[in-house]
Amino acid sequence: MKLYTKIKALFFFFLVLTSASALAQDIAVHDPVMIKQKDTYYLFCTGKGINVFSSKDLKNWKQEPAVFKEKPSWATKVVPDFKNHIWAPDISFHNNTYYLYYSVSAFGKNTSAIGVATNTTLNSEDNNYKWIDHGIVIQSHPNRDEWNAIDPNLIIDENNTAWLSFGSFWDGIKLFKLNPDLKSIAEPQEWYTIAKRRNTALSAASSAIEAPFIFRKNDYYYLFTSWDLCCKGKESTYKIVVGRSKKVTGPYEDKDGNLLSQGGGTLLLKGDENYYGVGHNSVYTFDGKDYIIYHGYDAKQNSKSVLQVKQLQWDKDLWPTL
């Protein structure tokens, strides 16, 4: 009986330990981002019309209506055969308005554009619930641009100035200043390359970088990006790297002092026997705790891409750690 009690106690301790370290999820997602409105978390991710889920506890998720029942009216001008499968959204709340940036693209090409839609509430049962699309913010063209207009992320700096980072492969991660309306590029234009891998000494001949997310904390701007290959099931090599800067425009450096604009990056998380590849993360503070949100290819579910939510810690040198 004593042995049984000890085993039961150990099992309970194991459950508490694993629950504290990671909130296991079982919803299929790609490129998850999150926000909290009152007592409800809302998750947006890649999918037809942009997939949306809601939760009260970060564990149990309810499917919500897609953002776009019909594809944005401008989308077929960018991608002629576009079928409303929208990539990599980004959600923010600013000036009492929710801003949702999103990507329209042809796979493997920089035939791409980033659009933005707004809403005053995320509660689909609210009478004021209505997504209003404002069209293209930035567009990339093959044989013209050495960058790819997907994977947007909004950051508001210490001066209340809005910036949009974005990018996938090509010449890396770009950052430009937005107008105060958050819907268009500020003039005169101000652009920066804040991270890249192509043609750099540290890139190992790879240009595989995407999914920027900038998180402000500890008097730093932390730039998270994803390296290597997603979307290949067991062959996925996706991983999350990070650098930081005192200024939103950079330069961003890794732990060893390497510039992210020259191929640097400190590894935060990579795939293992449980999840073949992990990446396309976002980072938030909810109720005084920092969380990292990302997708991983689950080895136990035939490489299904599932949601992962983990609490993010900070070491003595103020670097993020799991």
Query: Is 145 part of the annotated catalytic residue set?
Result: no
Supply the DSSP symbol for 219.
Answer: T
- In order, the DSSP letters of 76-144 are HHHSTT--SEEEEEEEEEETTEEEEEEEEE-TTSS-EEEEEEEES-S-TTSTT---EEEEEEEEE-TTT
Angle at 191 between CA 89 and CA 152, to 5 degrees: 5
Catalytic site residue from 90, 151, 210, 298: 210
Which H helix or E strand runs over 295?
strand 289-298
| Sign of the alpha-carbon dihedral angle for 23, 43, 218, 242 | positive
153-156, strands of its sheet edge to edge? 153-156, 162-166, 173-177, 191-195
Q: Are 182 and 162 in contact (CB under 8 A)?
A: yes
Is 210 a known active-site residue?
A: yes
Distance, in Å, from the CA atom of 98 to the CA atom of 107, rounded to the nearest integer, reads 28
> One-letter amino acid identity for 174?
K
Quote the tokens at residue 196.
């890249």
> Would you name the residues annotated as active-site residues?
31, 210
